[in-house]
Amino acid sequence: MKLFRTFPGILIAAVLIPQLAIIPLIFTGILFFVEDSLKNQFVDNARNTANILSGNFSHLHTDQLNQNIQTQLQEYIFTGHISHAEIILNDGNKITTEGSRQQETKPFKEDFLFGQHEDNIYFIAVPLIDHTGEQTGVIHLGFDESPINKQLETSFNRTFYSAAALILISTFFIVIAAGYLSRPLRRIRDAARKISFQKEDATLETNSTISELSSLGKSLESMRQTFIDQHKQIKSRESYISSIMRNMADPLVISNGSLQIQTLNNAARKMFQYEKEEYRSQGVDILFDHDLIDKILSQARNKELICLEGSGHNKAGDAIPLELNISHITLDTSELYIINARDIRVRKQVEQALLEAKKHAEESNKQKSYFLSTMSHELRTPMNAIIGYSDLILEDIDKDDHNRSDLLRIKKAAKHLLDLINSILDLSRIEAGKMELHITHFSINDLLDEAVSTTHQLVKNNKNKLTVDIENCSETLNSDYLKLKQIVINILGNAAKFTKNGEIQVRVFNKKIKDHKLLCIEIKDTGIGIETDRLANLFESFTQADSSVSRKYGGTGLGLAISKKLAELLDGNIQVESSPEKGTTFLICVSTELGESTSVFI
Amino acid sequence: MIASRVRLFLFTIVLLAIPLETLMAGEHELVVITSTKNNFAPIARDDLRRLFLGIKPKHTDIKITPINNKSENILYEVFLQKVIRMSAVAYERHLLSKVFTHGTQRIKTTEEYANLLKELEYNENAISFVWANDLKKNPDIRVVQSIWKGQISQ
Q: What angle do CA A551, A557, A560 make, to 5 degrees?
A: 135
The whole-number pLDDT of residue A505 equals 94
The whole-number pLDDT of residue A104 equals 53
Which of A78-87, A252-261, A476-485, B16-25 is predicted least confidently?
Answer: B16-25
Helix (H, G, I), strand (E, B) or coil at A577: strand
For chain A, what is the mean pLDDT? 84
Taking contacts as CB-CB distances below 8 angstroms, the residues of chain B near A110 are 150-151
Give the start-to-end residue ranges of the domains of chain A: 2-154, 203-240, 248-342, 349-421, 435-591
- Region class of A340: left (phi > 0), else alpha (psi between -120 and 50), else beta: beta
Taking contacts as CB-CB distances below 8 angstroms, the residues of chain A near B14 are 115
Cβ pair A314, A271 in contact under 8 A? yes
Residue B81 has pLDDT above 90, yes or no: yes
pLDDT in tens, B43-62: 988 899 999 999 989 888 88
- Substitution target in A116, A132, A151 with the highest count of B β-carbons within 10 Å is A116
List the single residue in A with minimal CA-CA distance to B79: A112
The whole-number pLDDT of residue B9 equals 63
CA separation for the pair B75, B26 (Å, rounded): 13
- In this prediction, residues A90-112 reach a mean pLDDT of 76
- In this prediction, residues A220-224 reach a mean pLDDT of 86
The whole-number pLDDT of residue A596 equals 46
Q: Could you tell me the sign of the dihedral formed by the alpha carbons of A563, A566, A570, A571, in that order? A: positive
State which residues form the domain around B105.
24-151
Among candidate residues A193, A182, A178, the one with its CA nearest the CA of residue A216? A182
Residue B6 lies in a domain: no
Residue A45 has pLDDT above 70, yes or no: yes
**Among the partner residues B2, B77, B89, nearest to A112 by beta-carbon distance:** B77
The amino acid sitting at A484 is L
**Domain with B90 in it: what CATH number?**
3.40.190.10
Q: How distant is the Cα of B95 from the closest Cα of chain A, in angstroms?
A: 15
Q: If you ran DSSP here, which 8-state letter would residue A286 be given?
A: G
Are the beta carbons of A47 and B80 separated by less than 8 Å?
yes
Residue B55 lies in a domain: yes
Residue A438 C-alpha from the chain's centroid: 60
How are beta strands B27-35 and B108-110 bridged, if at all? Answer: unpaired
pLDDT in tens, A6-29: 877 888 888 888 888 888 888 888
Q: How distant is the Cα of A71 from the closest Cα of chain B, in angstroms?
A: 22
The amino acid sitting at A213 is L
Q: Where are the beta strands (DSSP E) in A314-459?
A: 319-331, 334-343, 439-443
The whole-number pLDDT of residue A290 equals 87
**Among the partner residues B89, B150, B154, nearest to A117 by beta-carbon distance:** B154
The whole-number pLDDT of residue A54 equals 81
pLDDT in tens, A516-544: 888 999 999 999 888 888 887 788 766 65
Residue A433 has pLDDT above 80, yes or no: no
Are the beta carbons of B90 and A40 separated by less than 8 Å?
yes
Residue B34 has pLDDT above 80, yes or no: yes
Residue A41 has pLDDT above 80, yes or no: yes
The DSSP result for A490-541, as a single string, is HHHHHHHHS-SS-EEEEEEEEEEETTEEEEEEEEEE-SS---HHHHTTTTST
List the single residue in A with minimal CA-CA distance to B44: A133
Q: Could you tell me the sign of the dihedral formed by the alpha carbons of A92, A97, A98, A101, in that order? A: negative
The whole-number pLDDT of residue B13 equals 60
Cβ pair A144, A115 in contact under 8 A? no
Task: Name residues 442-471 of chain A within 8 A of B (Cβ).
Answer: none
Q: How distant is the Cα of B127 from the closest Cα of chain A, in angstroms?
A: 22
Residues whose CB is less than 8 angstroms from the CB of residue A479 and which lie 6 or more positions away in sequence, other chains included = A439, A440, A442, A519, A570, A590, A591, A592, A594
Which of A84-98, A165-179, A539-553, B103-117 is predicted least confidently?
Answer: A539-553
Q: Decide if A101 touches B, using CB distance below 8 A.
A: no
How far the first Cα of chain A sits from its last, in Å, is: 97
Q: How distant is the Cα of B139 from the closest Cα of chain A, in angstroms?
A: 32
Cβ pair A299, A310 in contact under 8 A? no
Residue A155 has pLDDT above 70, yes or no: yes
**At residue A104, what are phi and psi to the nearest 5 degrees?**
-75, -45
The whole-number pLDDT of residue A437 equals 84
Taking contacts as CB-CB distances below 8 angstroms, the residues of chain B near A44 are 86-87, 89-90
- Substitution target in B2, B81, B151 with the highest count of A β-carbons within 10 Å is B81
- In this prediction, residues A578-593 reach a mean pLDDT of 90
- Substitution target in A41, A42, A44 with the highest count of B β-carbons within 10 Å is A44
Helix (H, G, I), strand (E, B) or coil at A250: coil
CA separation for the pair A87, A94 (Å, rounded): 6
Higher-pLDDT residue of A491, A427: A491
- In this prediction, residues A184-212 reach a mean pLDDT of 81
Split at pLDDT 50, 70, 90, the class of A584 is very high
List the single residue in B with minimal CA-CA distance to A31: B10
Are the beta carbons of B88 and A40 separated by less than 8 Å?
yes
Domain A435-591 has CATH 3.90.1150.10: no
pLDDT in tens, B85-141: 999 999 999 999 999 988 888 999 999 988 999 999 889 899 999 999 888 778 889
Which of A123-132, A452-461, A542-551 is predicted least confidently?
Answer: A542-551
Residue B92 lies in a domain: yes
Q: How distant is the Cα of B114 from the closest Cα of chain A, in angstroms?
A: 25
- In this prediction, residues A30-42 reach a mean pLDDT of 89
Cβ pair B75, B99 in contact under 8 A? no
Q: How distant is the Cα of B153 from the closest Cα of chain A, in angstroms?
A: 7
Total count of domains within chain B: 1
Split at pLDDT 50, 70, 90, the class of B22 is very low
Residue B9 lies in a domain: no
Taking contacts as CB-CB distances below 8 angstroms, the residues of chain A near B90 are 40, 44
Helix (H, G, I), strand (E, B) or coil at A313: strand
The whole-number pLDDT of residue A4 equals 75
CA separation for the pair A17, A116 (Å, rounded): 38
CA separation for the pair A125, B83 (Å, rounded): 12
Q: How distant is the Cα of A196 from the closest Cα of chain B, in angstroms?
A: 53
> How many beta-carbon contacts under 8 Å exist across A and B?
56
Residue A211 C-alpha from the chain's centroid: 37
Residue A62 has pLDDT above 60, yes or no: yes
Higher-pLDDT residue of A504, A417: A504
Among candidate residues A488, A407, A477, the one with its CA nearest the CA of residue A455? A488
Split at pLDDT 50, 70, 90, the class of A57 is confident
The whole-number pLDDT of residue A405 equals 83
Taking contacts as CB-CB distances below 8 angstroms, the residues of chain A near B80 are 47
The whole-number pLDDT of residue A85 equals 85
Are the beta carbons of A109 and B153 separated by less than 8 Å?
yes
* Three-state SS letters, A132-192: CCCEEEEEEEEEECHHHHHHHHHHHHHHHHHHHHHHHHHHHHHHHHHHHHHHHHHHHHHHH
Which of A109-118, A415-424, B102-111 is predicted least confidently?
Answer: A415-424
**Among the partner residues B3, B87, B150, nearest to A44 by beta-carbon distance:** B87
Residue B12 lies in a domain: no
Same CATH topology for A2-154 and A248-342: the answer is yes
Q: How distant is the Cα of A193 from the closest Cα of chain B, in angstroms?
A: 48
Taking contacts as CB-CB distances below 8 angstroms, the residues of chain B near A115 are 14
Cβ pair B109, B70 in contact under 8 A? yes
Residue B122 lies in a domain: yes
Among candidate residues A85, A68, A63, A198, the one with its CA nearest the CA of residue A141? A85
The whole-number pLDDT of residue B20 equals 46
Taking contacts as CB-CB distances below 8 angstroms, the residues of chain A near B151 are 109-110
- Region class of A288: left (phi > 0), else alpha (psi between -120 and 50), else beta: beta
Cβ pair A448, A488 in contact under 8 A? yes
Cβ pair A48, A215 in contact under 8 A? no
Q: If you ran DSSP here, which 8-state letter would residue B81 be given?
A: I
Task: Name residues 160-199 of chain A within 8 A of B (Cβ).
Answer: 160
Are the beta carbons of A47 and B81 separated by less than 8 Å?
yes
Compute and round to an integer the Cα radius of gyration of chain A.
Answer: 68
CA separation for the pair A86, A77 (Å, rounded): 11
Q: Which CATH superfamily is domain A2-154 in?
A: PAS domain (3.30.450.20)
- A248-342 CATH fold: Beta-Lactamase (3.30.450)
Among candidate residues A371, A458, A378, the one with its CA nearest the CA of residue A418? A378
